[in-house]
Structure 1
Amino acid sequence: MIATEESKKIQQQFAEKMDMDELLNCMRCGFCLPACPTYIETNFQEKHSPRGRIALMKAVADGMIEFDDDVEESLDLCLGCRACEPACPAGVNYGMLLEDARDIISQNKKHSVSVKAVRNTVFEGLFPHQNRMVNLTGLLGFYQRSGLQKTVRKIGFMKLFPENLAQMERVLPEVPKKNEMKERPDFLQANTVKTKTVAFFSGCLMDTMFMKTNDATLELLQMAGCDVVIPKSQGCCGALHGHSGEKAKAIELAKKNIAAFEDTNADYIVTNAGGCGGFLIGYDHLLADDFEWNERAKVFTQKLRDISQILYELDFHREYSLCLPGAIFTYQDSCHLRNVMHTAAAPRQLLNAITNAEFREMPEADRCCGSAGIYNIVEPEMSMQILDHKMEHVESVQPGIIVTANPGCLLQMKLGIERAGLQGKVEAFHIADVLLKAAKSEINPKR
């Protein structure tokens, strides 16, 4: 329960800090409603729609209602997928409003000792420190390779956990060894005629748990004629912090990354994680109140590209013969890649260029899969409800491969395959892994 004193503090902060112009931009037209997964999944409850949540934020800011558990539940249940933004004729920046509201709530609500400990461990002690991410992933690797994982499964230990967490344990990728994660390159030369110099945002999870996909991405860039710079001083993008009410830490991480990439003199900054890209491209909004850093952030964001977009712009699909005999693909959009970075055509065009294969468009491929950062952990019921409906759409096109463009989406789709009993029939891969395999299936490129 939220205490009266906390409620008053939050109401005061809403009135002082929320962007009233942005709240007033919402015309209550309802164009956002069909785009909102939680509105649909809750049988069209207005409070779980973007329009409804904006109305609640404004009512709290105006002092019309108290901030209470119902308001907090509405904001917590939002996926932050931002599908409402492309649907909005007024261009309301809903994602910014949601992050500001969550930040105010987090900074003024008294968390329990256990919640404080978890938040401090995750937001302060782990994600901002890549060496600790490496150490933690190394422990996971030991768990996988030592035989401990088999033992844990054999004795039924995972049955003590909620079903969705036990299923997640089964779909975790095989992680690299600790030494491999520490021996990362900082520069790679194009392996053909150089066309561009790009800087690669390696990420925290992507360069540990999903390091093989990062390696595939780097190789694709080299094949496309890019010299690749990987700044050593970069760090976590801050998305997890920004989405969870830790705005000050997100700003600190944003400044660190902007500074890390400024000296690369790169034509583009490339990311291969839709969730990271969606947050990185909003650094100018995040730093809007700091003139110097806002200007530096604008330069940073203008260079940002997803791996699929840069490969498409460099005609990778025309320069190389892409081939995967017998493959049947479908594509699940990363919400932030589509809704924030506005990249939806490029991945599909690349997949459609693969010969001796078939691309099948999934119904509602643009709707969130329910992963949404740590949403599938903190809101498991709604997340699994959304995922199960997603898998119905997957089964309707009967693919052999689900392609994604974000690590969270990838794990969620693997989880969906597990829940739907499609193991052995359907697999899920990151688009970089699929494209590299397709490019290497032909010995001689067209160059």
Structure 2
Amino acid sequence: MDKQEKKQIQSAFKEKMDYDELMNCTRCGFCLPTCPTYIETGRNEVHSPRGRIALMKGLVDGVIEPSEEVKQSIDMCLGCRACEPVCPSGVNFGRLLEQARDAIYQNKKQTVPEKVMKGIFFKGIFPHQNRMVGLTGLLSFYQRSGAQKLAQATGIMKLFPESMRTMEKVLPKVPKKSEMKARPRHLQPLVKERKKKVAFFSGCLMDTMFMRTNDATVKLLQYAGCEIVVPDTQACCGALHGHSGELKQAKEMAKRNIQAFEVAGVDFIITNAGGCGAFLVEYDHLLKDDPVWSERAKSFCAKIKDITSILIELDFHKQPLALEKKIITYQDSCHLKNGQKTFMEPRQLLESIEGVRYVEMKDASRCCGSAGIYNIVQSEMSMQILDYKMEQVQKTEAKMIVTANPGCLLQMKLGIEREGLSDEMQAVHIVDLLLEAYENANATNESSNQQFLAMQT
């Protein structure tokens, strides 16, 4: 960093950081055992929550100067927020992290590759769902045309880092572009009693790469007695922007989504991705200084509910649910647990499935190392964290790892592949598993499936 950069970053820290929040930290150390990077770096305080807060406060106070070492500490944080539930002072570390990254990345000179990547993805693709569909459609063509098999057979993939090569193998089968575009926007319950009217936040990656899981989510809601509205003007939640120091763009996404869902007239807004839900539920904080949007954001946030929460509320776990005998375990989505405070609901649903034996994994709520794009930009640490996670998975003797977030799902698939367990273990999103269990137990036949399909058109 040159002198001008350091001056700008230090000034930004003084302007952007919530000093009262920084002062809330009493340096008690309760956060230390919960922090994956603190543990994996050999208990290095620089990579702990209280260590990072000390660095942030030092920059604001002018006691230390911005440096590459400080930036590395901030960058290496997963943003899992596991430190928040155990903090006796209630420090909102996730918010401090976003403020710190915003101060650094809006004032540090970016390399040409960084500018290009941010321009393409953060500005050019994620805010525009039609472009997401187009890009994901290319991935679908890559998978279906034989190009993927050719790339793997010819050794082209060896040009990429090992983690990316393995990730390419475990990507879900992506639907065709035409399938992604032909989406229903208003659906009725598939049972006699209509219990709730809800809106579904379909997301960007979830509604393209993980479209099948979105379809399963909608169908579960229909079986639970929900009328569903899917606003076609909704946008990316903005989480990747917010976590990467692009708060201005995150606010733009928030306003678009609030406006899109305000006219739906629903009881709840349902999410099926822990990372998205945790960011959506904090739009009120994101827009707290905006006199036009702050109250609208509060109303929006009050309606956010994870799919597992609404299913428990509607007694879906008391419905017949059954699968063939197997041991399953659950990997918490950090943001679902620490952001949305949703912990027991997924477990209640899994334990209600006849035929499966649920085994709690040690440190199930410790981050798996996915953390948005962390497993790409901090690959070494991510794989170190994943290795520990897979050790705990194997101790459960489970043949299935259940998750509630797309990033976690891909990371666990990556772990299974790295451990050579693809033939004996699988990872699934909880809604896909619950839909299978419901339809298996209720002997849903082909005619009912045709009825469902007819209602989509």
If the length of structure 1 is used for normalisation, what is the TM-score?
0.98
Output aligned runs, 1:216-231, within 5 Å: 216-231=216-231
Q: Distance in 2 between matches of 1:111 and 1:163?
A: 26
Does 1:239 pair with 2:260?
Answer: no
Q: Distance in 1 between matches of 2:342 and 2:69?
A: 35
Output aligned runs, 1:204-219, within 5 Å: 204-219=204-219
Offset at residue 443 of structure 1 (A): 2.8
Offset at residue 291 of structure 1 (A): 2.6
Q: SS of the counterpart of 1:356? A: strand
Output aligned runs, 1:271-310, within 5 Å: 271-310=271-310
Q: Distance in 1 between matches of 2:325 and 2:94?
A: 40
Q: Distance in 2 between matches of 1:137 and 1:118?
A: 17
Offset at residue 313 of structure 1 (A): 0.7
**What is the one-letter code of the residue matched to 2:287?**
L
Paired residue for 1:421? 420
Q: Distance in 2 between matches of 1:118 and 1:361?
A: 39
Unaligned runs of at least 5 residues, structure 2:
445-457
Q: SS of the counterpart of 1:325? A: strand
Q: SS of the counterpart of 1:327? A: strand
Q: SS of the counterpart of 1:168? A: helix
Q: Distance in 2 between matches of 1:327 and 1:232?
A: 39
Output aligned runs, 1:332-411, within 5 Å: 332-411=331-410
Task: Write out per-residue CA displacement over residues 88-125 of structure 1, whole angstroms, 9 at most, x where no aligned residue.
Answer: 01111111110011011111111112211111111000
Offset at residue 444 of structure 1 (A): 5.8
**What is the one-letter code of the residue matched to 1:287?**
L
Task: Write out per-residue CA displacement over residues 99-158 of structure 1, whole angstroms, 9 at most, x where no aligned residue.
Answer: 011011111111112211111111000100101110111100100010111111111111
Q: SS of the counterpart of 1:65? A: coil
Q: SS of the counterpart of 1:108? A: coil
Paired residue for 1:169? 168
Task: Write out per-residue CA displacement over residues 309-344 of structure 1, whole angstroms, 9 at most, x where no aligned residue.
Answer: 1001100011x2000121211000000000010001
Q: Distance in 2 between matches of 1:68 and 1:284?
A: 32
- Using the TM superposition, name which of 178-187 and 286-295 deviates more: 286-295
Paired residue for 1:102? 101
Q: SS of the counterpart of 1:409? A: helix
Offset at residue 4 of structure 1 (A): 1.5
**What is the one-letter code of the residue matched to 1:8?**
K
Q: Distance in 1 between matches of 2:362 and 2:401?
A: 13
Q: SS of the counterpart of 1:441? A: helix
Q: SS of the counterpart of 1:198? A: strand
**What is the one-letter code of the residue matched to 1:38?**
T
Q: Distance in 2 between matches of 1:341 and 1:367?
A: 16
**What is the one-letter code of the residue matched to 1:321?**
P
**What is the one-letter code of the residue matched to 1:386?**
I
Q: Distance in 2 between matches of 1:105 and 1:394?
A: 37
Task: Write out per-residue CA displacement over residues 185-212 of structure 1, whole angstroms, 9 at most, x where no aligned residue.
Answer: 1110011110000000000000000000
**What is the one-letter code of the residue matched to 2:53?**
I
Paired residue for 1:49? 48
Q: Distance in 1 between matches of 2:409 and 2:355?
A: 24
Paired residue for 1:261? 261
Q: Distance in 2 between matches of 1:444 and 1:348?
A: 24
Paired residue for 1:34? 33
Offset at residue 418 of structure 1 (A): 0.5
Q: Distance in 2 between matches of 1:29 and 1:442?
A: 50
Q: SS of the counterpart of 1:109? A: coil
**What is the one-letter code of the residue matched to 2:280?**
L
Q: Distance in 2 between matches of 1:16 and 1:80?
A: 22
**What is the one-letter code of the residue matched to 1:302?**
A
Paired residue for 1:134? 133
Paired residue for 1:155? 154
Q: SS of the counterpart of 2:420? A: coil
Q: SS of the counterpart of 1:174? A: coil
Unaligned runs of at least 5 residues, structure 1:
none
- Using the TM superposition, name which of 250-259 and 109-118 deviates more: 109-118
Paired residue for 2:323? 324
Task: Write out per-residue CA displacement over residues 9-35 of structure 1, whole angstroms, 9 at most, x where no aligned residue.
Answer: 111111122111000000100111011
Paired residue for 2:111? 112
Q: SS of the counterpart of 2:206? A: coil
Q: Distance in 2 between matches of 1:136 and 1:63?
A: 45
Q: Distance in 2 between matches of 1:92 and 1:356?
A: 42
Q: SS of the counterpart of 1:387? A: helix
Q: SS of the counterpart of 2:202? A: coil
Paired residue for 1:63? 62
Q: SS of the counterpart of 1:292? A: coil
Q: Distance in 2 between matches of 1:325 and 1:246?
A: 46
Offset at residue 273 of structure 1 (A): 0.2
- Using the TM superposition, name which of 287-296 and 233-242 deviates more: 287-296
**What is the one-letter code of the residue matched to 2:278?**
G
Q: Distance in 1 between matches of 2:423 and 2:285?
A: 44
Q: Distance in 1 between matches of 2:309 and 2:326?
A: 22
Q: Distance in 1 between matches of 2:311 and 2:111?
A: 47
RMSD (CA atoms): 0.8
If the length of structure 2 is used for normalisation, what is the TM-score?
0.96
Offset at residue 438 of structure 1 (A): 0.2
Offset at residue 219 of structure 1 (A): 0.2
Paired residue for 2:454? none
**What is the one-letter code of the residue matched to 1:47?**
V
Paired residue for 1:125? 124
Q: Distance in 1 between matches of 2:409 and 2:82?
A: 19
Offset at residue 302 of structure 1 (A): 0.9
The count of aligned residue pairs is 443
Task: Write out per-residue CA displacement over residues 31-77 of structure 1, whole angstroms, 9 at most, x where no aligned residue.
Answer: 11011000000010001000000000000010000010110000000
Task: Write out per-residue CA displacement over residues 197-239 of structure 1, whole angstroms, 9 at most, x where no aligned residue.
Answer: 0000000000000000000000000000000000000010000
Q: Distance in 2 between matches of 1:207 and 1:219?
A: 14
Q: Are the equivalent residues in 1 in contact too, given 2:323–2:441 (CA < 8 A)?
A: no
Q: SS of the counterpart of 1:220? A: helix
Q: SS of the counterpart of 2:289? A: coil
